[in-house]
Amino acid sequence: MAVWHRGLEGRTHTGARMRPARKKKKRELGSQPTYTKIGTEKRKVIDTFGGNIKVRLYQATFANVFNPETKTAKKVKILDVVENSANVDFVRRKIITKGAIIKTEIGLARVTSKPSKDGVVNAVLIKEGNVS
């Protein structure tokens, strides 16, 4: 997966074709997507541009679920992936992304964080109770 780079392709405002003066440098290339799955906790720290870091989460067992009614957060076990609007195939493969609906011990929750970028699964409870 490559990151788009302004100026390497396209046309000028008059319509002339712009030819790239050089290819992409190593720092301008992207990386393969990290698909967070259900399993034993597995993380990796990645150095990013500007001296920052990202924590990649490869497998997750627990999620921090916020209950809007009681205004409390609880660390609960993830049981299953119920729905994922990013890709319908992600449900079968049990991949957790932002916006996915997961089944937890206390009910259904919608993921609000980007697990592959933040290194943690944060979610908001949407349906409380024992969901089968």
Whole-structure pTM value:
0.80
Question: Does pLDDT of 1 surpass 60?
Answer: no
Q: What is the pLDDT of residue 25?
A: 83
CB 127 within 8 A of CB 110: no
Residues 22-53: tens digit of each pLDDT: 888 887 788 889 999 999 999 999 988 889 99
Question: Does pLDDT of 3 surpass 70?
Answer: no
125 — pLDDT class (breaks 50, 70, 90): very high
Q: What is the pLDDT of residue 32?
A: 87
3-state secondary structure 7-73: CCCCECCCCCECCCCCCCCHHHECCCCCCEEECCCEEEEEECHHHCEEEEEEEECEEEEEECCCCEE
Question: Does pLDDT of 9 surpass 90?
Answer: no
Burial class for 35, CB neighbours closer than 10 Å (0-12, 13-18, 19+): middle
Region 5-16: what's the mean pLDDT? 76
Region 105-131: what's the mean pLDDT? 91
- Residue 111: CB atoms within 10 A of its CB come to 23
Question: Does pLDDT of 19 surpass 90?
Answer: no
Q: What is the pLDDT of residue 6?
A: 62
Question: Does pLDDT of 131 surpass 80?
Answer: no
4 — pLDDT class (breaks 50, 70, 90): low
